[in-house]
Amino acid sequence: MIKITINANYSFQRKKSFASKIVSKDDYIPHDENNVYVNFDESNNKLFLVSKYGSIEIIDDDIKFELNEVLLFYNNINQLRRFFRPSANSNAILLTEQCDQRCIMCSQPPKDKRYDDFPLFKNALKLCPNKSIITISGGEPTLFMDELLDFLIFAKKERPDITFHILSNGQHFKKEDMKNLKEVSSNVLWGIPLYSHLPNEHDDIVSKDGAYDKLFHSFSLLLEAGSRIELRTVLMKQNIKSLLKLSDLIINKLPWIEIWAMMQLEYIGYAKMNWKKIFFDNSENFEFLENSIIHALSNKINLNLYNFPLCTVPQKFRKIARPSISDWKKKFIKECENCEKKSVCAGFFEWHKNEIGYKNIGRKFL
Amino acid sequence: MTYNYFPYNFRKIDHQYFLVSNISGNFFLCKKETLDKIIHKKIDNNLEKYLLQKGFLFKEQGDFNWNNNKFKLVKRKMLPEKIGYYMIVPTLRCNINCSYCQVSRVDQSTNGYDWDDNTLDHFFKFVSKYSDKNIKIEFQGGEPTLRVDIIKKVIQWADKNKYKAEFAICTNLLNINQEFEEIIARDDVHLSTSIDGSYEIQKNQRTKSDDLAKNFFKNFEYVSNKYGLDKISALPTFYDFDQVVPTIDFYESLGLKTIYLRPVNFQGFARKKHPISKNLTEEWGKIYNKALDYIFQKNYNKKNNFMMEFSFLTNLRRIFQPGSNGHVDLRNPNFASRDNFIVDYNGVLFPSDEARMISRIGLVDLSLGNIFDGLDSEKISNYNWNQISDVNSDCIHCSYQPYCGIDTVDDLSRYNRIDLPKIKTNFCQNNLRKFDDIFSRILSNKPENILNITGHLTGIFSTIPPFSDIIYD
């Protein structure tokens, strides 16, 4: 597992946080705080990062920094955070752990913690490689809607090549946000969950009354703003039976979305707690999915399967299964040892527990 | 507050059911009693709910339903802003003389019908000006492989200038030399050829000689074995309609996955030789429907290697998949000089291959400029005004208008005029029949129809229908 938050022995002559990019020692400019270089002391087997403010020693083991990686130095807590790794399949800003929904499968249950430091993010953004894609997640990032939109407008002006993938529950868009939403529409893909065509089924899953109605109010605004939407539907025992009706709703009312993602569960957080009540094993029964997939594809909805190991999906549907699990929390299990499809397979979440997971790995659909 | 209706049309499909479709192409099927309720605006709660769900109603301009319909409407009519498709004729010369040659051709030894360096140079300048980096270039003829050197130069130029290009070469496959094979081997090169049927038919209609027919099938086998059947597609032309079913079988035996069933299209010089073609619409329709049944039944009895029929696919996509606007034979608006051009052997620009043919026989000059002097914008504008079905007084009353296309060139070539009532044209009759057939198949609820509809739309042949709630009662 790749570590994102890293501990260090700090001795920087600066207490405020700052953003910096890893360059080679030859390209290092000593008076510029926006660059650091990696120094490995072979005799003592110690890893250092050298900045204009001095050098710090990395405490955690097995850290492999990359050239052009962007780091955030949190000097007051002796930590640094990997903001952008060029080789990663996903780079995310965790904005906050606060949320106004309590989804029964939440992988990251809300806490009263927030990490929004937009001035710092703005500096980091300027250092990212050309055409970077940055995910913004939570908690619920749009709890700070004004600051978030301000950040996106800044990004659009300073770095129009960078695009964002923002995971939001779609509960907080207002008419007043329209102007800004329009402005950033082409640079942002909003990942927004919809779990059912039935308002009460959706509301039950997110544990919030009226969430469905609010969501459709938001959809109306987002459509008018020309926003790009990735609709996300986590599949569970709760909604699998009505999945076909959901595909009809999408065909009729949401054909303008860019992607519809059907997603498998992540065994962590509330999902772990509720696992037996919610986990739907698609390796046992693919019928509900099959019906819904056929509907969506026939009507040219750009449907993708996220977090599905390829061997749990019938051959004919594998072309829509994506290697969606971020590299830092992805693993392969014993059964995958001789599999040739690993490079195109989503694999498993680091915390996946095989005993209670899919019953037919590598068997049923071969 | 009561709801408003988006404009809609309806059409009788069978003795019981009507199709109701609106301007965005949203549709459903219902019985006459339901249709009456809608027409007289006496709908109950259930029907209102259904109409809302299907996108037939809105409360006010700019509300969610309004914007949703607007999205679909635009999607159905949107054309690319840049020219992405060029069909070019590096030479008009050909080494065989098919009996109904579609395109005008000249004998292999004739002088003055090839591109020269100056033409190439201006073509490159034209592409640089009117296209972005995603282009597709189709080499037509004549027989383009008589000028492999030009094909090579075009590909090298695209490589050098970092185009994300695809190339299609329409060839009779009679000459595969080393130079041509180096081109074939590229992943971005696709071949297209004509196969009218088995050896005898191919000989009679195309090659005219035993040796050449043998040579053709030998080369076809060589290419498909070495590079896979994805490398090459084939088109039949039916002169004798009794040959349709045997040709389907023949295509299947060759391993081909797609067949395009179309009657011989007597245009260009061919029309002078075969004046009978005007009245074939009805006869062909019957043959076509039977042939579709034949393919569908075959697919239904198969586990894999399913076959698709291209014109069914085209019409079907226009119904279910807004945005399928890439096929100039069936789209609306069907503007020239928006996303594709034909560049003739002399650098003259045409909106379509058919336009090139009827211009060449002197019926009407449909050229829209040339690559040396640029575009004739006045002519393009005049042409385009007749390529919009939304302003045609016949089309606007038709339930299939959101799905159908418009093709003034076809009208011109058949009737020498563009102002016949559309219902009297081959284009209209042919597509009415095809759309009627599709909706009848949907209503039939036969598993072989569902399997083929789903299969054509998704590539996944399954008896799961691609729709669940499109029949109201």
Task: Enumerate the β-bridge partners of residue A56.
Answer: A49
Predicted TM-score of the model (pTM): 0.92
Residues B252 and B130 placed together within one structural domain of the fold: yes
Residues B70 and B97 placed together within one structural domain of the fold: no
User: From the CA of B68, how many Å to the nearest CA of chain A?
Assistant: 7
Q: Say how many C-beta atoms besides its own lie within 10 A of residue B281's C-beta.
A: 17
Tell me what pLDDT residue B278 has: 53
Strand ranges of the sheet holding A163-167, from the earlier edge strand across to the other edge: A92-94, A133-137, A163-167, A188-193, A228-234, A259-263, A303-306, A321-322
Q: DSSP 3-state assignment of B250?
A: helix
pLDDT higher than threshold 90 for residue B169? yes
User: From the CA of B320, how many Å to the nearest CA of chain A?
Assistant: 5
Tell me what pLDDT residue A11 has: 86
Q: What is the DSSP string of A271-307?
A: HHHHHHHH---TTT--HHHHHHHHHHHHTT--EEEES
CA distance linking residue A25 with residue A101, whole number of Å:
47
Q: Say how many C-beta atoms besides its own lie within 10 A of residue B308's C-beta.
A: 18
**Does residue B454 sit within a domain?**
no
Residues B91 and B9 placed together within one structural domain of the fold: no
E strand spans, chain A: 5-9, 18-22, 35-41, 46-51, 54-58, 70-74, 79-84, 92-94, 133-137, 163-167, 188-193, 228-234, 259-263, 303-306, 321-322, 330-331, 348-349
Residue B174 and residue B194 in contact, taking contact as beta carbons nearer than 8 Å: no
- Class of CATH domain A92-356: alpha beta
Lowest mean pLDDT among A137-151, B18-32, B349-363: B349-363
Tell me what pLDDT residue B146 has: 95
CA distance linking residue B378 with residue B9, whole number of Å:
34
Residues B93 and B170 placed together within one structural domain of the fold: yes
CA distance linking residue A20 with residue A76, whole number of Å:
16
E strand spans, A102-187: 133-137, 163-167
Interface contact flag, B462 A294, Cβ < 8 Å: yes
Q: Tell me the pLDDT tens digit for each residue of A303-320.
A: 999 999 999 999 999 999
Instruction: Mutation target for B interface from A252, A315, A320: give the one with most B CBs within 10 A.
Output: A252
Considering only CB atoms, which chain B residues are within 8 Å of A216? 64
**Does residue B205 sit within a domain?**
yes
pLDDT higher than threshold 60 for residue B271? no
Q: Which two tokens stand for residue B349?
A: 């620009």
Tell me what pLDDT residue B103 has: 56
pLDDT higher than threshold 60 for residue B276? no
Instruction: Mutation target for A interface from B49, B53, B64: give the one with most A CBs within 10 A.
Output: B64
Q: Tell me the pLDDT tens digit for each residue of B213-245.
A: 899 999 999 999 999 999 999 999 888 888 899
pLDDT higher than threshold 90 for residue A175? yes
Interface A-B: count of C-beta contacts within 8 A: 65
Spatial CB neighbours of B159, under 8 Å, sequence gap ≥ 6: none
Residues B56 and B102 placed together within one structural domain of the fold: no
Q: Tell me the pLDDT tens digit for each residue of B170-220.
A: 999 998 999 999 999 999 999 999 999 888 888 888 888 888 889 999 999
pLDDT higher than threshold 90 for residue A112? yes
Spatial CB neighbours of B44, under 8 Å, sequence gap ≥ 6: B37
Q: Tell me the pLDDT tens digit for each residue of B368-415.
A: 999 999 999 999 999 999 999 999 999 999 999 999 999 999 999 888
**Does residue B466 sit within a domain?**
no
Q: Which two tokens stand for residue B249?
A: 């079988």
Q: Is B304's Cβ below 8 Å from some Cβ in A?
A: no
User: From the CA of B36, how many Å to the nearest CA of chain A?
Assistant: 24
The number of angstroms, rounded, from the C-alpha of A137 to the middle of its chain's C-alpha atoms is 6
Percent of chain A clearing pLDDT 70 (strictly above): 100
Tell me what pLDDT residue B273 has: 57
CA distance linking residue A321 with residue A263, whole number of Å:
10
pLDDT higher than threshold 70 for residue B274? no
Q: Say how many C-beta atoms besides its own lie within 10 A of residue B158's C-beta.
A: 20
Residues B31 and B159 placed together within one structural domain of the fold: no
Tell me what pLDDT residue B267 has: 59
Q: Which residue of A lies nearest to B28 if distances are taken between CA atoms?
A: A252
CA distance linking residue B340 with residue B326, whole number of Å:
10
**Does residue B108 sit within a domain?**
yes
Q: Is B467's Cβ below 8 Å from some Cβ in A?
A: yes
Spatial CB neighbours of B377, under 8 Å, sequence gap ≥ 6: none
Residue A322 and residue A306 in contact, taking contact as beta carbons nearer than 8 Å: yes
Residues B37 and B184 placed together within one structural domain of the fold: no
Burial of B312 (0-12, 13-18, 19+ CB in 10 A): buried
Mean pLDDT over each residue of chain A, to the nearest integer: 95
Q: Is B177's Cβ below 8 Å from some Cβ in A?
A: no
The mean pLDDT value for B433-448 works out to 95
| pLDDT interval class at B279 (50, 70, 90) | low
- Which CATH number do you get for residue B170? 3.20.20.70
Interface contact flag, B460 A297, Cβ < 8 Å: yes
Tell me what pLDDT residue B283 has: 86
Nearest to B464 among A224, A249, A294 (CB): A294
Residues B175 and B240 placed together within one structural domain of the fold: yes
Q: DSSP 3-state assignment of B149?
A: helix
Which of residues B78, B98, B126 is at a domain's end? B78
Q: Which residue of B lies nearest to A216 if distances are taken between CA atoms?
A: B64
Nearest to B458 among A220, A248, A297 (CB): A297
Q: What is the DSSP letter of B59?
A: S
Nearest to B68 among A223, A294, A316 (CB): A223
Tell me what pLDDT residue B270 has: 54
**Does residue B431 sit within a domain?**
no
| pLDDT interval class at B102 (50, 70, 90) | low
Q: Say how many C-beta atoms besides its own lie within 10 A of residue A338's C-beta.
A: 7
The mean pLDDT value for B322-335 works out to 94
Residues B56 and B157 placed together within one structural domain of the fold: no
For CA atoms A50, A53, A54, A58, give the dihedral sign.
negative
CA distance linking residue A227 with residue A173, whole number of Å:
12
Higher pLDDT among residues B208 and A153, named by residue: A153
B82, HSE (Cβ side, Cα atoms, 13 Å): 12
- Counting every residue written for chain A, the total comes to 366
Closest CA to A164 of A152, A176, A147: A152
Tell me what pLDDT residue B468 has: 82
**Does residue B53 sit within a domain?**
yes
Measured torsion, CA atoms of residues B155, B159, B161, B166, in degrees rounded to the nearest 10: 70
Which of residues B43, B78, B113 is at a domain's end? B78
Interface contact flag, B321 A248, Cβ < 8 Å: no
Number of domains in chain B: 2
CA distance linking residue B215 with residue B175, whole number of Å:
9
User: From the CA of B17, how many Å to the nearest CA of chain A?
Assistant: 22
Q: Which residue of A lies nearest to B452 if distances are taken between CA atoms?
A: A298
- Residue A244's H or E segment, with its range, is helix A243-253
Tell me what pLDDT residue B209 has: 86
The mean pLDDT value for A242-267 works out to 96
Residues B57 and B149 placed together within one structural domain of the fold: no
Q: Tell me the pLDDT tens digit for each residue of A209-231.
A: 999 999 999 999 999 999 999 99
pLDDT higher than threshold 90 for residue B256? yes
Task: Note the ipTM here.
Answer: 0.91
Q: Say how many C-beta atoms besides its own lie within 10 A of residue A349's C-beta.
A: 21
Closest CA to B357 of B304, B410, B303: B410
Mean pLDDT over each residue of chain B, to the nearest integer: 92
Residues B12 and B143 placed together within one structural domain of the fold: no
pLDDT higher than threshold 60 for residue B269? no
CA distance linking residue A28 with residue A36, whole number of Å:
7
Its domain, for residue B111, covers 85-279+335-360
Residues B126 and B59 placed together within one structural domain of the fold: no
The mean pLDDT value for B5-27 works out to 97
Tell me what pLDDT residue A215 has: 98
Considering only CB atoms, which chain B residues are within 8 Å of A223? 64, 67-68, 71
Q: Which two tokens stand for residue B311?
A: 């014109």
CA distance linking residue A131 with residue B463, whole number of Å:
43
Q: Where exactly does CATH 3.20.20.70 map onto chain A?
A: 92-356
List residues of chain A with CB under 8 Å from any CB of chain B. Answer: 216, 219-220, 223-224, 244-245, 248-249, 252-253, 255-256, 290-291, 294-295, 297-300, 316-317
